[in-house]
A and B are shown apart, each in its own frame.
Chain A
Amino acid sequence: AQKITQTQPGMFVQEKEAVTLDCTYDTSDQSYGLFWYKQPSSGEMIFLIYQGSYDEQNATEGRYSLNFQKARKSANLVISASQLGDSAMYFCAMREGFGAGGTSYGKLTFGQGTILTVHP
């Protein structure tokens, strides 16, 4: 089974509008972390935002916020006031079982990614 699922291969948004990129995850661990990375056409991986499984508040970082619904195992990324420079591939990732007797050794498991295109 996929540990991280991003069901939207591509999304389009108008500049200055908000957009939500979906991510669902599968884990039996109680302690885990969820991450979003942005990959522009240049290829580098840029960290955007982190949500811990025990965090009660949704994470926010500037125009990025994470809509964390633990019971639904979803961690959607919300980008407000989209900019042309937001056009990129976005990856959701999970770190599980680490630091609590787990064996993942801190690795991240990535979803398939969503290509976001911002139109002027």
Chain B
Amino acid sequence: EPEVTQTPSHQVTQMGQEVILRCVPISNHLYFYWYRQILGQKVEFLVSFYNNEISEKSEIFDDQFSVERPDGSNFTLKIRSTKLEDSAMYFCASGSGSLNEKLFFGSGTQLSVL
């Protein structure tokens, strides 16, 4: 089965630093997403991306966050000036846009902000 790939699997950073989380979605998918899961809590939607632009974002996705698809394969989430509360697992997901099709999730990047 095709896979969504995320790197790195773990990222440790100092508060105030910028981090970039990387994802390679499934090649023929058109819709890309970032989700966040704080330890032991539910999976929260951050942003969706379609046709090279943000199509929807949540309240969590403020000016500190940005997404980019710099080339035909990568999809990145940048967090500027990280805060302690940004510590979480970040999941990338992709989908073809069909109502009845699952989203394919990557294995996640565990971000720890110290």
Which residues on A are within 8 Å of B, measured CB to CB?
31-33, 35, 37, 43-45, 47, 50, 52, 91, 93, 95, 98-100, 103-113
Contact = CB atoms under 8 A, between A and B. Distances in A.
The binding surface of chain A is classed by DSSP as loop
Contacts of B100: 33, 50, 52
Interface of B: 31, 33, 41-45, 48, 50, 55-56, 89, 91, 93, 95, 97-105, 107-108, 110
10 contacts: A33-B100, A50-B100, A52-B99, A95-B99, A99-B99, A100-B99, A103-B56, A106-B97, A109-B45, A112-B42
A33 B48 CA distance: 18
Contact of B45 (A33, A35, A52, A108): A108
Given A43-B89, A106-B48, A108-B93, 13 more contacts: A31-B99, A43-B107, A43-B108, A43-B110, A45-B93, A50-B102, A100-B99, A103-B56, A105-B56, A106-B95, A106-B103, A110-B42, A111-B42
Contact of A105 (B43, B44, B48, B102): B48
A81 to B, nearest CB: 23
